[in-house]
């Protein structure tokens, strides 16, 4: 009674292999090691202002809103302004991310809370590790810095991303993640987020705010 | 297999579906909702065709090395502190999940949308064992309330109208105001969000499927738009992933190739809202995420498809494009197919998984228009495979005697071209004579089933081959 051995043996019987053929083993090891890039669309092959513009255009196409600030010090005022503009309560929950903690929140009247969400927070704030301009996608990783629950439970999710962390394509994001975590090592959770939550399950009518955030607001930090 | 298939009754199911006015109204949404959006998304990406070829090649490479990739994948999951369980069949997979739930002391499990759970009949099995499964994908939640199967692999409740959903919500959400307004989809969505939010927070175990398993990193990937899969796998103390053997792919780069195809093919989005990569359980210092992470990898007949003419079906990434573009699916919807997987992909996969004796009608329910193959992101030759199933069905003497006899008769003439030409020209002239200028036959001997629904245009006195020859001669001259 070893299901694993049985299933693998059944596969090998069907493809006529033993599992020990050197050529097959080498083909697999080689692919895992080299991780060939495949077809990477031209669309994302832009840099600088063009990359930021593409990121912005694609994120907005996915119904996120995008703001730009010149420096990290301007983030709190921009976030407070966004919440005010949409008549949202002046509350904000975030993780321990030192980049967020270092921002001058004292300049705002926001009521701040720290740690994962229990589902009762209206507004959540996260710092993304990167973004992909090709589709206006944010990349967030789990941990005490940016708890995963903040990405999904609050009604309004505000995400900070540095312009210098934006990638043109997913392949560049993987390169950056491998650089940060090591080859073949992943953070526990990587969330790629493209716009706010939605569902089309009732009569194919797309509606925002299914189970995750109803609004996604992105603040890009330049410089 | 525990969900009792009604696939053997496809013909009766289809007749019923065609006469169901509410279903026909809802099915109009399939045509309107999917085709144009996909076409637009594809047109926006010049590399789409190249990506289809790349994705096909990756899957072919994986299938040729499937045993090795599964071993590599399992080792990486275990390295990250997760557990991998292999299941030979549906019964074994169900039992693994139940045992895990019992060990974890689970009373309620939330579920992200997983077709594998449907395939193994997980919900009724858990319920019988006193564990309450709660579907959290809006479409799956609706059909769970109705005790139905999904009718579409990515839009499980596409067969329903908003009025039907409103009726179900009133019937089940009895704690809410009886006079509330449920006329618009947005009010239905808001109500489901409120009800399910409590379920997310109270669940002991979260069960999701997997769009991909990445061998390089031991990562499972889910793709959703609602965020339900993420709340399902993040909030409870344990996350159980259900996947089948062919879901494994080599690397993150390979995942990117498929992700560029998946959303565009499925919903016409540039990218789905949430694409989530999960590797093992919560780590030291993590303030949230599951403490336990298990992956159940199901075979259930797939390994015996390898090395056969149905191997290419294992490339399928479950986008639903084939059914969205299928005239038969548009006409009868998903339930008529009688099991978990409808449309062209279901017509090929279902006989493999539950037997051609059970599901032989499905590959026959095709016009062979070829749209399914032309939109398939991994270029599965679905019409060719449906033909293979028809051959198998014939070989195993599963067709009715009249059909076999007629085919045998036709084959006798087809193998004798001169006789064939003679017989057809006699028949065509005879029919033209009998027709006497009316232009159509409302009734024909031996073809009552066909003429019941339409007239047969009367032949004009010459066979196709005659006309073809005449035209060729004319062109040459």
Indicate the residue of A25, A169, A195 with minimum beta-carbon distance to B273: A195
In tens, the pLDDT along A93-124 reads 999 999 999 999 999 999 999 999 999 999 99
pLDDT above 90 covers what percent of chain B? 82
Q: What was the pLDDT predicted at B253?
A: 98
Pick the CATH number of A45-221 from 3.60.10.10, 3.40.50.10420, 3.40.50.1240, 3.20.20.150: 3.40.50.10420
Could A10 and B303 be called an inter-chain contact, meaning their C-beta atoms sit closer than 8 Å? yes
Interface contacts A/B by beta carbons within 8 Å: 281
Q: What was the pLDDT predicted at B437?
A: 74
Could B288 and A6 be called an inter-chain contact, meaning their C-beta atoms sit closer than 8 Å? no
In tens, the pLDDT along B419-471 reads 998 988 888 888 888 887 778 888 877 777 778 878 888 887 788 888 888 88
- Alpha-carbon span B160 to B171, nearest angstrom: 16
Q: Which of A80, A29, A17 is nearest to A217 (CA)?
A: A80
Average pLDDT of the segment spanning B278-289: 96
Contacts of A202 in chain B (CB under 8 A): 138, 142, 157, 160, 162, 165, 185, 188-189
Q: Are B127 and B107 in contact (CB under 8 A)?
A: no
pLDDT above 70 covers what percent of chain B? 99
Are residues B126 and B252 part of one domain?
Answer: yes
For chain B, the average pLDDT equals: 94
Q: Helix crossing, B185-202 with B138-146: angle to 10°?
A: 90
Res A1 pLDDT > 60: no
Contacts of A151 in chain B (CB under 8 A): 230
- Assigned token pair, B143: 């059909």
Contacts of A169 in chain B (CB under 8 A): 256
Contacts of A116 in chain B (CB under 8 A): 287-288
For chain A, the average pLDDT equals: 97
Could A201 and B142 be called an inter-chain contact, meaning their C-beta atoms sit closer than 8 Å? yes
Could B271 and A10 be called an inter-chain contact, meaning their C-beta atoms sit closer than 8 Å? no
**Domains in chain B, number:** 2
DSSP string, A95-137: ---HHHHTS-GGGS--EEEES---S--SEEEEE-SEEETTTTE
Are residues B163 and B35 part of one domain?
Answer: yes
In tens, the pLDDT along A151-180 reads 999 999 999 999 999 999 999 999 999 999
Positions of CATH 3.40.50.10420 in chain A? 45-221
In tens, the pLDDT along B170-188 reads 999 999 999 999 999 999 9
Q: What was the pLDDT predicted at B466?
A: 85
Q: Are B196 and B54 in contact (CB under 8 A)?
A: no
Q: What was the pLDDT predicted at B399?
A: 82
Q: Is residue B165 part of a domain?
A: yes
Q: What was the pLDDT predicted at B371?
A: 97
- Considering only residues B399 and A212, tell me which one the structure prediction assigns the higher pLDDT: A212
Indicate the residue of B46, B215, B283 with minimum beta-carbon distance to A32: B215
Our CA-based measurement puts residue B140 at a distance from the nearest CA of chain A, in whole angstroms, of 9
Residue B325: alpha-carbon gap to chain centroid: 12
Interface of B with A in 233-252 (CB under 8 A): 234-235, 245, 250-252
Of the pLDDT bands very low, low, confident and very high (cuts 50, 70, 90), residue B477 is low
Indicate the residue of B26, B63, B234 with minimum beta-carbon distance to A152: B234
Q: Any CB–CB contact under 8 A between B271 and chain A?
A: yes
Domain's final residue, options B303, B323, B350: B303
In tens, the pLDDT along A178-191 reads 999 999 899 999 99
Q: Give every CB contact of residue B309 below 8 A, 6+ residues apart in sequence.
A: B385, B388
Going through B138-269 in order, the beta strands assigned E by DSSP cover 205-208, 212-214, 219-224, 238-244, 248-249
Domain's final residue, options B303, B327, B350: B303
Average pLDDT of the segment spanning B87-114: 98
Q: Name the closest residue on chain B to residue A187, using Cα atoms.
A: B279
Q: What was the pLDDT predicted at B476?
A: 66
Could B260 and A195 be called an inter-chain contact, meaning their C-beta atoms sit closer than 8 Å? no
Residue B249: which region, alpha, beta or left (left: phi > 0; alpha: psi -120 to 50)? beta
Q: What are phi and psi of B110, to 5 degrees?
A: -90, 155
Q: Any CB–CB contact under 8 A between B77 and chain A?
A: no
Res B337 pLDDT > 50: yes
Could A143 and B286 be called an inter-chain contact, meaning their C-beta atoms sit closer than 8 Å? yes
Residue B198: alpha-carbon gap to chain centroid: 30
Indicate the residue of B63, B139, B161 with minimum beta-carbon distance to A201: B139
Average pLDDT of the segment spanning B406-415: 90
Could A189 and B74 be called an inter-chain contact, meaning their C-beta atoms sit closer than 8 Å? no
Q: Any CB–CB contact under 8 A between B269 and chain A?
A: yes
Are residues B267 and B132 part of one domain?
Answer: yes
Any idea what DSSP says for residue A72? G
Res A73 pLDDT > 80: yes
For residue B447, give its domain range.
416-476
Domain's final residue, options B282, B303, B324: B303
Res B3 pLDDT > 90: no
Interface of B with A in 156-195 (CB under 8 A): 156-158, 160-162, 165, 185-186, 188-190, 193
Could B274 and A193 be called an inter-chain contact, meaning their C-beta atoms sit closer than 8 Å? yes
Of the pLDDT bands very low, low, confident and very high (cuts 50, 70, 90), residue A136 is very high
Q: What was the pLDDT predicted at A15?
A: 96
Q: Is residue B200 part of a domain?
A: yes
List the CATH number of the domain containing B33: 3.40.50.10420
Q: Are A123 and A156 in contact (CB under 8 A)?
A: yes
Of the pLDDT bands very low, low, confident and very high (cuts 50, 70, 90), residue B30 is confident
In tens, the pLDDT along B129-164 reads 999 999 999 999 999 999 999 999 999 999 999 999
The most confident of B22-31, B374-383, B460-469, by mean pLDDT? B374-383
- Alpha-carbon span B293 to B289, nearest angstrom: 10
Could A58 and B260 be called an inter-chain contact, meaning their C-beta atoms sit closer than 8 Å? no
| Angle at the Cα of B88 from the Cα atoms of B82 and B92, rounded to 5 degrees | 75
Q: Any CB–CB contact under 8 A between B216 and chain A?
A: yes
Q: Are B413 and B423 in contact (CB under 8 A)?
A: yes
Q: Are B277 and B219 in contact (CB under 8 A)?
A: yes
Q: Is residue B357 part of a domain?
A: no
Our CA-based measurement puts residue A3 at a distance from the nearest CA of chain B, in whole angstroms, of 6
Q: Any CB–CB contact under 8 A between B3 and chain A?
A: no
Indicate the residue of B142, B271, B288 with minimum beta-carbon distance to A116: B288
- Alpha-carbon span B204 to B286, nearest angstrom: 18
| Angle at the Cα of B77 from the Cα atoms of B72 and B78, rounded to 5 degrees | 100
Q: What was the pLDDT predicted at B1?
A: 42
Going through chain A in order, the beta strands assigned E by DSSP cover 65-69, 91-94, 111-114, 123-127, 130-132, 137-141, 156-162, 166-167, 189-193, 198-199, 207-208, 215-221
Q: Is residue B348 part of a domain?
A: no
Contacts of A144 in chain B (CB under 8 A): 285-287
């Amino acid at each position: 009674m070893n299901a694993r051995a049985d299933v693998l043996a059944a596969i090998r019987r069907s493809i006529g292999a033993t599992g020990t053929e050197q050529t097959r083993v080498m083909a697999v090891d080689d692919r895992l090691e080299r991780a060939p890039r495949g077809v990477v669309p031209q669309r994302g092959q832009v840099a600088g202002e063009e990359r930021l513009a593409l990121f912005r255009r694609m994120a907005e196409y996915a119904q996120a809103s995008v703001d730009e600030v010149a420096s990290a010090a301007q983030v709190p005022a921009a976030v407070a302004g966004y919440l005010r503009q949409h008549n949202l309560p002046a509350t904000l929950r975030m993780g321990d991310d030192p980049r967020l903690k270092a921002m001058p929140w004292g300049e705002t009247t926001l009521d701040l809370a720290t740690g994962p969400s229990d589902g009762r927070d209206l507004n959540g704030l996260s710092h993304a590790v990167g973004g992909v301009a090709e589709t206006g996608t944010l990349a967030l990783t789990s941990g005490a810095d940016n708890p995963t629950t903040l990405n999904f439970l609050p009604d309004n999710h505000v995400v900070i991303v540095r312009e210098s962390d934006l990638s043109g394509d997913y392949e560049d994001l993987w390169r950056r993640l491998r650089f940060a975590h090591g080859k073949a090592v992943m953070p526990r959770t990587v969330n790629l987020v493209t716009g706010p939550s939605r569902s089309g399950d009732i009569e194919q009518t797309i509606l925002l705010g299914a189970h995750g955030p109803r609004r996604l607001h992105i603040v890009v930090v330049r410089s | 297999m525990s969900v009792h298939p009604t696939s053997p009754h496809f013909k009766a199911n289809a007749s019923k579906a065609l006469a169901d006015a509410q279903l026909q109204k809802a099915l109009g949404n399939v045509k309107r909702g999917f085709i144009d959006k996909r076409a637009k998304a594809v047109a926006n990406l010049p590399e789409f065709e190249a990506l289809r070829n790349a994705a096909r090649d990756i899957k072919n490479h994986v299938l040729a090395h499937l045993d090795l990739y599964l071993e590599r994948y399992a080792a990486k999951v275990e390295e990250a502190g997760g557990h991998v369980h292999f299941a030979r069949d549906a019964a074994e997979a169900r039992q693994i999940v139940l045992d895990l739930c019992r060990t974890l002391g689970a009373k309620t499990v939330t579920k992200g949308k997983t077709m594998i759970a449907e395939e193994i009949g997980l919900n009724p099995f858990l319920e019988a064992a006193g564990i309450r499964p709660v579907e959290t994908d809006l479409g799956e939640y609706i059909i769970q309330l109705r005790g139905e199967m999904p009718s579409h692999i990515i839009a499980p409740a596409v067969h329903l109208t908003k009025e039907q959903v409103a009726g179900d919500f009133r019937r089940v959400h009895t704690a809410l105001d009886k006079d509330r307004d449920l006329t618009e989809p947005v009010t239905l969505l808001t109500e489901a969000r409120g009800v399910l939010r409590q379920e997310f927070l109270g669940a002991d175990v979260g069960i999701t499927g997997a769009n991909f398993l990445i061998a390089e990193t031991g990562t499972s990937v889910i793709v959703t738009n609602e965020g339900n899969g993420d709340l399902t796998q993040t909030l409870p103390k344990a996350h159980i992933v259900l996947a089948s053997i062919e879901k494994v792919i080599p690397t993150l780069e390979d995942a990117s190739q498929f992700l560029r195809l998946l959303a565009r093919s499925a919903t016409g989005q540039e990218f789905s809202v949430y694409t989530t990569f999960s590797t093992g359980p919560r780590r030291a210092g993590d303030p949230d995420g599951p403490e336990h992470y298990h992956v159940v990898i199901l075979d259930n007949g797939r390994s015996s498809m390898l090395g056969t003419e149905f191997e290419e079906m294992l490339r399928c990434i479950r986008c639903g494009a084939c059914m969205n573009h299928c005239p038969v699916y548009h006409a009868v919807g998903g339930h008529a197919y009688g099991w978990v997987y409808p449309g062209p992909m279901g017509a090929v996969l279902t006989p493999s998984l539950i037997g051609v004796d059970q599901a032989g009608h499905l590959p026959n329910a095709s016009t062979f228009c070829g749209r399914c193959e032309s939109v398939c992101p991994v270029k599965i030759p679905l019409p060719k495979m449906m033909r293979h199933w028809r051959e198998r069905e014939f070989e195993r003497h599963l067709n009715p005697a009249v059909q076999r006899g007629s085919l045998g008769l036709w084959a006798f003439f087809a193998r004798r071209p001169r006789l064939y030409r003679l017989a057809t020209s006699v028949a065509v002239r005879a029919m033209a004579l009998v027709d006497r200028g009316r232009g159509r036959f409302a009734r024909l001997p031996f073809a009552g089933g066909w003429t019941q629904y339409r007239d047969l245009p009367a032949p004009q006195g010459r066979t196709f081959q005659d006309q073809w020859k005449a035209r060729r001669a004319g062109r040459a001259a």
